[in-house]
Amino acid sequence: MLLAQSSSLVTMEIDGLIMSGLIFVPALFAVLLLLIPKGKDEAMRWLTLTGTVVTFILSLMLFVDFLNMHQYHQAREADSFLGARADAAMRAAAANEPAQSRDLICRIPWIDRFGIEYFLGVDGLSMSLILLTTLLAVLSFIVSWKIEKAVRGYCMLYLLLQTGILGTFLALDFFLFYIFWELMLLPMYFLIGIWGGARREYAAIKFFLYTLLGSILILIALLVFYFTDLKPLQSHFQAELEAAKAGGDAALIAAAQREVDTFAGLRAVREGKEKINTFDLVILAKAGQAAAKAEADHRRATNAHTAKPTPETQAALEKAAKNRERLADILPPRLQVICFVLLFIGFAIKVPMFPFHTWLPDAHVEAPTPISMILAGILLKLGGYGILRICYPVCPWGGYELAWLVGLFGVISIVYGAFAAMAQTDFKKLVAYSSVSHMGYVIMGIAIWMAPENARYWAWGMNGAVYQMLAHGVTSAGMFFMVGVIYDRAHHRDLNRFGGLANAMPVYSGLAAIIFFGAMGLPGLCGFVGEVFTVLGTWSFTPPDMAWMGKVYAVLAAATVVLTAAYILWTVQRVFLGSNEAYMSFPDLDRRELFIAGVLVFLTVLLGVWPSLVFDWLEPCVTGLVRTLSALTP
């Protein structure tokens, strides 16, 4: 690539520049906004729009690089995984080789005191969500054109919010992740609090407090992770290498050697620190998974030995016990369960999952339309992203032990959200509760831990969950936009007072119907793919001692589709059908609105009929995670 050749001109590799640009270009534009003289609102809007469009273009550039990277690693898919690329980058840095532009990893030492790095990276999961973010940011800013109050402040906060979101998606250092995670809170608080509806102050502080409470739980886990001394992991990798050499399998030896070299490349190790502490999520995931594997091996060996004691099983058990003993101090199973719960609650508040969802209806109802779109379309996804990026990889044992419980909460969210949506008369509240229901599929699809022999079903579930996040990002943003359009004209959101809009606004009604059906999960539209994959995967979910559970979950989740259809169809009927003279004078969509609706409808259909457009590059990393995790099943 042409861009790649110029990388020698700058100190940071080109991928690092693009990723940093994605994060900081919005913030830069926020600063530029200060230069525009007071009162020139239109200029401020255009500048902000330029900022979001530039960010969108940057994300497309990153996407191209990402596809190239996939192409490059075609021969060995495992090398394209985020962990493998991060490891390779670490080894290269340790060997003083130049960082590569193709690996889409950027790591620069930042705060020596805690070994914090400016560590960014991209894989299919974050890539898909980044594209969603930058696109929705452009679209909902066009919607924001109608904001008249304190335009400069609005634009600055909007851009800062985008910086926080993109930083969270890109950060691979837990500390950095946390900073960006918190950075989102404040802009969101003010965006709801200043530009929101009647009860905006209450909704804003509720959002703030809920999320900060979740952040505190995450912070505890962050401290626990950091102060885990990873020294035993070094000897563990060394022992694995010895074992591999004894086995004589060249591929295994090479893999074990890579692990040893990678760990030796860790900064704390190179500097000969007495204790090895890190915020590096890739390394922490290795620690958590090694500990979980040791525990699983030990359980398997114990079972084999109790079932039929022989000298061989005795030896195997002793070996497993020794292995477990060696790793006893790094994230032992009980600690993993605790940290899993802390992190999971922290992220589930954002998802939001029943029973931590109560902030959502308030925030949505009070937030202005564009902010609702961002909130539903992107911010909720951060919860799911955190669960997939931190919760499961670093604390797999918690995921294994609590699989049925997490799944249960997912199912409750699905059913509860649907019932609650049905009871609403406020259009926005209905959409808000439908979000709770739809995000429940995400939780359920992730939760269904299965052993390697059934891992492909779990892979369905998890892929479906990620796809559901994308689809929900499109449809929920679309639904909030559609509600916003009608609110601008009717100045109320009472479902029972609408009716007959299809006569007055045929284009609007048609497009809105497609988006609503997409959310409902109509085959051929985007919502269907995610739901069907998660439900199919859940059917095969058989936690130990409770084999029936998956079936129950799947049936409940599938049956909820009827409820969803009920409230969506009922809404369509109440809003669009019939006739109502009062609304006959409403103008149909103007050009700006038509553009936004058109893009969202296009995506709804496209993602529905051509899922492989996304799955082709998304699936490897998600399935890779499933494979890694399910191998840890005892």
37: number of Cβ within 10 Å: 7
261 forms part of the interface with another protein (CB under 8 A): no
CB 204 within 8 A of CB 366: yes
Token pair 């190790």 is found at: 269
Q: What is the smallest separation between the CB atom of 113 and another protein, expressed in angstroms?
A: 5
CB 281 within 8 A of CB 177: yes
Q: Residue 224 or 451: which CB sits closer to another protein?
A: 224
41 forms part of the interface with another protein (CB under 8 A): no
584 forms part of the interface with another protein (CB under 8 A): no
Residue from 108, 212, 451, 558 binding another protein (CB under 8 A)? 212
568: number of Cβ within 10 Å: 24
Q: CA-to-CA distance for 553 and 448, rounded, in angstroms?
A: 10
8: which DSSP letter? G
Please give the angle made by the CA atoms of 120, 121 and 122, to the nearest 5 degrees: 145
Site for another protein in 96-115 (CB under 8 A): 111-114
Residue from 32, 99, 205, 569 binding another protein (CB under 8 A)? 205
Which of helix, strand or coil describes residue 348? helix
Residue from 198, 223, 246, 250 binding another protein (CB under 8 A)? 223
Q: Which stretch binds another protein (CB under 8 A): 59-67, 133-141, 205-213, 422-430?
A: 205-213
**Pseudo-torsion of CA 527, 532, 535, 539, nearest 10°?**
180
Distances (CA, A) of 74 to 71, 86, 404, 621: 5, 17, 36, 13
Return the bridge partners of 118, or none. 108
189 forms part of the interface with another protein (CB under 8 A): yes
Q: Residue 114 or 610: which CB sits closer to another protein?
A: 114
Q: Residue 68 or 277: which CB sits closer to another protein?
A: 277
Would you put residue 612 in left (φ > 0), alpha (ψ -120 to 50) or beta? alpha
Q: What is the smallest separation between the CB atom of 153 and another protein, expressed in angstroms?
A: 8
Token pair 């999961």 is found at: 125
Residue from 179, 304, 345, 513 binding another protein (CB under 8 A)? 179
Residue from 79, 201, 261, 426 binding another protein (CB under 8 A)? 201
Which of helix, strand or coil describes residue 149? coil
Q: CA-to-CA distance for 408 and 413, rounded, in angstroms?
A: 9
Q: CA-to-CA distance for 152 and 212, rounded, in angstroms?
A: 26
Q: At what angle do helices 41-72 and 612-630 cross, to 10 degrees?
A: 60
Q: Residue 227 or 548: which CB sits closer to another protein?
A: 227
Residue from 10, 31, 60, 216 binding another protein (CB under 8 A)? 216
190 forms part of the interface with another protein (CB under 8 A): yes
Cis? peptide before 355, omega within 30° of 0: yes
Residue from 56, 169, 174, 178 binding another protein (CB under 8 A)? 178
26 forms part of the interface with another protein (CB under 8 A): no
Residue from 1, 31, 67, 213 binding another protein (CB under 8 A)? 213
CB 554 within 8 A of CB 441: no
Q: CA-to-CA distance for 427 and 384, rounded, in angstroms?
A: 25
Token pair 């950095």 is found at: 176
Q: What is the smallest separation between the CB atom of 329 and another protein, expressed in angstroms?
A: 8
Q: What are phi and psi of 101, to 5 degrees?
A: -85, -15
Q: Residue 77 or 201: which CB sits closer to another protein?
A: 201
Q: Residue 219 or 566: which CB sits closer to another protein?
A: 219
Q: Which stretch binds another protein (CB under 8 A): 178-186, 367-375, 542-550, 577-585?
A: 178-186
Q: What is the smallest separation between the CB atom of 405 and another protein, expressed in angstroms?
A: 23
200 forms part of the interface with another protein (CB under 8 A): yes
390: which DSSP letter? I
Q: Residue 245 or 270: which CB sits closer to another protein?
A: 270
183 forms part of the interface with another protein (CB under 8 A): yes
182 forms part of the interface with another protein (CB under 8 A): yes
Please give the angle made by the CA atoms of 165, 170 and 173, to the nearest 5 degrees: 110
Which of helix, strand or coil describes residue 119? strand
Residue from 121, 193, 396, 611 binding another protein (CB under 8 A)? 193
338 forms part of the interface with another protein (CB under 8 A): no
Q: Which stretch binds another protein (CB under 8 A): 132-140, 211-219, 349-357, 364-372?
A: 211-219
185 forms part of the interface with another protein (CB under 8 A): yes
Q: Which stretch binds another protein (CB under 8 A): 127-135, 204-212, 245-253, 385-393?
A: 204-212
Total residues at interface with another protein (CB under 8 A): 29
389 forms part of the interface with another protein (CB under 8 A): no
239 forms part of the interface with another protein (CB under 8 A): no
Q: What is the smallest separation between the CB atom of 182 and another protein, expressed in angstroms?
A: 5
Q: CA-to-CA distance for 107 and 109, rounded, in angstroms?
A: 7
Would you put residue 525 in left (φ > 0), alpha (ψ -120 to 50) or beta? beta
Q: Residue 224 or 253: which CB sits closer to another protein?
A: 224
Q: Residue 190 or 498: which CB sits closer to another protein?
A: 190
Q: Residue 223 or 246: which CB sits closer to another protein?
A: 223
183: number of Cβ within 10 Å: 18
Tell how strand 116-121 and strand 105-111 pair up: antiparallel
Q: What is the smallest separation between the CB atom of 115 and another protein, expressed in angstroms?
A: 11
Site for another protein in 109-148 (CB under 8 A): 111-114
Q: Residue 182 or 261: which CB sits closer to another protein?
A: 182
CB 166 within 8 A of CB 55: yes
Please give the angle made by the CA atoms of 81, 85 and 91, to the nearest 5 degrees: 145
Q: What are phi and psi of 425, to 5 degrees?
A: -110, -15
Which of helix, strand or coil describes residue 522? coil
Q: What is the smallest separation between the CB atom of 194 and another protein, expressed in angstroms?
A: 5
Residue from 2, 95, 227, 250 binding another protein (CB under 8 A)? 227
Q: Which stretch binds another protein (CB under 8 A): 203-211, 296-304, 490-498, 556-564?
A: 203-211
Q: Residue 118 or 570: which CB sits closer to another protein?
A: 118
226 forms part of the interface with another protein (CB under 8 A): yes
536 forms part of the interface with another protein (CB under 8 A): no
CB 259 within 8 A of CB 239: no
99: which DSSP letter? P
Q: CA-to-CA distance for 296 and 283, rounded, in angstroms?
A: 20
Catalog residues that contact another protein under the rule CB under 8 A.
111-114, 178-179, 182-183, 185-186, 189-190, 193-194, 200-201, 204-205, 208-209, 212-213, 216, 219-220, 223-224, 226-227
